[in-house]
Every structure is written in structure tokens, then in C-alpha cells.
Structure 1
């Protein structure tokens, strides 16, 4: 069998698809203290204090802010962790996820 015949019969390798990415979004509310939101962002999303303050203020001004972008599983896990931290303290703090276009 010639090399060209062999190459023609060889199956092309399947390309690895990049995983879909999801945004974690912080939703503003009028009850959760700003300091607490900042602490949650630092703890769950490993932000510096200045990064956390900037995201918290963006959500406060706009009603919502993108915190970070991850694969679906990581985004959902972090959104749930942040929301649960708020619930444990009796706050309506909420994070959600949305597929990035």
C-alpha cells in the first residue's frame, strides 16, 4: 500500500471542542451590606479587595455585574457558593450564571 493510499484511508482526528464558557453575574439588592458582598467576592472568587469593590460598585450602579467567566460547572459551583454564603447570614445576595455568547 502506498503512503498516499494509507493517508486517504486514515480517519481524520476529531478536534477537541473548547468548552462553552459561562459568566457569573452578581445581582444587586438593597439589603446585603456592601462590606459583606466584598468579602464574598474575595472569598469565593479570589479577588483582591480593590477588584471586589469595583465589581460590587458596578452591580450597585447597574443592577448587575459580571464577576468572572468559567466553564459551566465551575461557574455554577461558584455562583451557588456565593449565594449560599449570603443565605447563611440571612441576606438575599444572589449570583446567577449565563452562557457567554
Structure 2
């Protein structure tokens, strides 16, 4: 009886192996009002990109309607979205920032 219970516990533990947390991409959306330079500054400040990379992301947003700024765990992605939206609103810009599960 003790053996059976011990084996059962081992099998249950194997079946309950942890999976990595879901990851989310943070995306900037294009609009007709937010200045390109403001978008570049946002990407540099909140996503730690150098100016060249920030320019490339801004141009992708401008040309394709959206651009991925980075991939993060859920909590970090949510925080970055909120920081970007707050900064944009305080500056009077309608810039949109969203997150999508990868």
C-alpha cells in the first residue's frame, strides 16, 4: 500500500510540471497626430532602445500601422503599456500602446 501511494505521488508531480509564464509583446499603434520624434523618445525611454533602433520601430509604426517594442512577462508588459499611455496623455498625444500574448 505504501509503495502504491508513493508511486502515485511521483506520477502526479511529473504531470504537474511547471510551464514558463506567458509572454506579451508591447505594441505601439499609429495615429495621425503624435509626432514621430515623440514616438522615438517614448521607445528610447520606456523600452531602453538606442536612437537608431527607436527610429526603426517608429518607422515601422508609421508605415505598417503598428510596431513591436519588446516582449515581456505579463506584469512588465502591463506596466510599460500604462507608463507609455500616461506619458502620452500628459503630453497631449493620442498615442496608443497595447499588449498581445505571444
Fold shared per TM-score above 0.5 = yes
Aligned-residue offset at 1:10:
4.5
- Partner-residue secondary structure (3-state), 2:10: coil
SS at match of 1:47: coil
Q: What SS class does the counterpart of residue 70 from structure 2 fall into?
A: strand
Q: Which runs of 5+ in 2 are unaligned?
A: none
TM-score with structure 1 setting the length: 0.86
* Alignment partner, residue 60 of structure 2: 58
- 1:23, distance to aligned residue in structure 2 (A): 1.0
Aligned length: 98
For 1:44 and 1:81, how far apart are their aligned partners in 2? Answer: 8
Residues 29-40 of structure 1 mapped to structure 2, 5 A cutoff: 29-40=31-42
- Measure, in 2, the Cα distance between the counterparts of 1:29 and 1:37: 11
Aligned to 1:11, what secondary structure does the other structure show? helix
Structure 1: tracts of 5 or more residues without a match: none
Q: TM-score, structure 2 length as denominator?
A: 0.85
Partner Cα distance (1:39, 1:56) in 2: 10
* Separation of aligned partners in 1, 2:9 and 2:21: 27
2:80 and 2:45 map into 1 onto residues whose CA distance is: 10
Q: 2-side partners of 1:51 and 1:57: how far apart?
A: 10
Deviation of the 1:84 alpha carbon: 1.1
In structure 1, the partner of 2:69 is: 67
Question: More helix by proportion, 1 or 2?
Answer: 2
1:26 aligns with 2:25: no
Query: SS of 2:31's equivalent?
Result: coil
